Amino acid sequence: MNENIKDLIDKAEADEALVSNILRKMYSLLGAQEVLQFCKERLQANPDSFSANWTMFNLMRVNGQYNKAVGYIDKCLQIMEPDNPRRVDYVMQKATILSLAYNRFSDNDYLKKAIVEYESLLAEMPNNTGVLNNLAYMLAENDERLVEALEYAKRAHEVKPNDPSFLDTYAFVLYKNGRFSEAAEFMLAALQQYEQSSIVPSPYAYEHLGMIKEKLGAVAEAIGNYRKALEVGGGELPEGAKQRINTAIERLSQESETKT
């Protein structure tokens, strides 16, 4: 690493925000490996360097090393003062990483940990629609406290009735509560809002619609939406999700053949 950059960081030692900004610029100019090496050296000298821990969190997140990312964000939270106004943002970052880990590995331990983090956020921000929406989805995904999840999803949707991701969550939680006709209505509204906003829907939106249509007995539509989920997800869809969707398609196809 350029000695001038090291000198600049040393002079900015007391200003962690400035150091973080320098490291971001280093990443753009020199690449991840240089920054990674520097942060490792910095943490060896000072394990409580907030900027180095924060930078390592971001590097691990980008590289998909979620367990390591959680370790670094935990260290950041440990270093921060309890009354730091940015603490909530960092807890939300941790919850997001846990959610990403769950989506990739389909390990319920990640989901349960993410629920705990979002519940702590909800205690601090009871009317935050993003927190309400995400907690509702996670509870439903874990088949946990479904009536409560529905209340959270409804509150988020009522504040932002045209938000497609909130519509998707509301539909999914309605589905989990056995209200399939209503779920279909809101899921179709979500896809319509995605289209109007020129946003490509998540593959999970089509999977959700497939699940709903399956419960309503619309087998051909269910299969079509499951296949659309695979198409939209492409190579980015985790293997667990692909297997789950393909299993649903195979099951419904066999049922359809048996009936005919």
Q: What is the pLDDT of residues 90-105, one digit of tens each?
A: 898 899 899 889 888 8
Pairwise CA distance, residues 183 & 157, whole Å: 13
pTM tops 0.75: yes
Q: Per the domain annotation, does 36 fall within a domain? A: yes
pLDDT score at 33? 78
Return the higher-pLDDT residue of 24 and 147: 147
Q: Per the domain annotation, does 171 fall within a domain? A: no
Q: Per the domain annotation, does 8 fall within a domain? A: yes
* Closest CA relative to residue 167, chosen from 125, 127, 195: 195
Q: Per the domain annotation, does 37 fall within a domain? A: yes
Question: What is the amino acid identity at position 79?
Answer: I
Q: Per the domain annotation, does 223 fall within a domain? A: no
Q: Per the domain annotation, does 159 fall within a domain? A: no
For the chain, the average pLDDT equals 87
Pairwise CA distance, residues 4 & 197, whole Å: 46
Question: Which domain, by its residues, includes 17?
Answer: 1-63
Q: What is the pLDDT of residues 69-89, one digit of tens each?
A: 999 999 999 998 888 888 888
Q: What is the pLDDT of residues 199-251, one digit of tens each?
A: 999 999 999 999 999 999 999 999 999 999 999 998 888 888 899 999 999 99
Residue 3 has pLDDT above 60, yes or no: no
Residue 260 has pLDDT above 70, yes or no: no
Question: What is the amino acid identity at position 171?
Answer: A
Specify the number of domains making up the chain: 1
Q: Per the domain annotation, does 255 fall within a domain? A: no
Q: Per the domain annotation, does 18 fall within a domain? A: yes
Q: What is the pLDDT of residues 35-49, one digit of tens each?
A: 778 788 888 988 998
Q: Return the CA Rg of the chain.
A: 22
Q: In sequence order, what DSSP letters do the residues of 165-189 get, joined into one string?
A: HHHHHHHHHHHHTT-HHHHHHHHHH
